[in-house]
Amino acid sequence: MFKLYDVVKAKRRLSNDIPSGTLGTVVIIHDEFTSICYIVEFMNDKNETVGVLTVKESDLC
């Protein structure tokens, strides 16, 4: 389980702008569902936001 503000990496392509290996920061944790999901802000190599997505724990490492 990840914590708020943990830096995570996408395990797979999540969108056209977020390929596998993209780094992001957990900004919100939703744990009221049967499986935990995270809202993650993903950044490129220039530290620019490329997307904010809701993802499952299995999509991150």
User: What integer pLDDT is reported at residue 35 of this predicted model?
Assistant: 82
Q: Which residue has the tokens 């991150």?
A: 60
Residue 33 banded pLDDT, cuts 50, 70, 90: low
Residue 7 has pLDDT above 90, yes or no: yes
Per residue in 17-29, pLDDT tens?
999 999 999 999 9
Sheet hosting strand 37-43, strand order edge to edge: 7-9, 23-30, 37-43, 49-56
Closest alpha carbon to 39 in 51, 50, 27: 27
* Every domain of the chain and the residues it spans: 7-59
pTM for this entry: 0.92
Q: Compute the average pLDDT of residues 24-37.
A: 88
User: What integer pLDDT is reported at residue 21 of this predicted model?
Assistant: 97
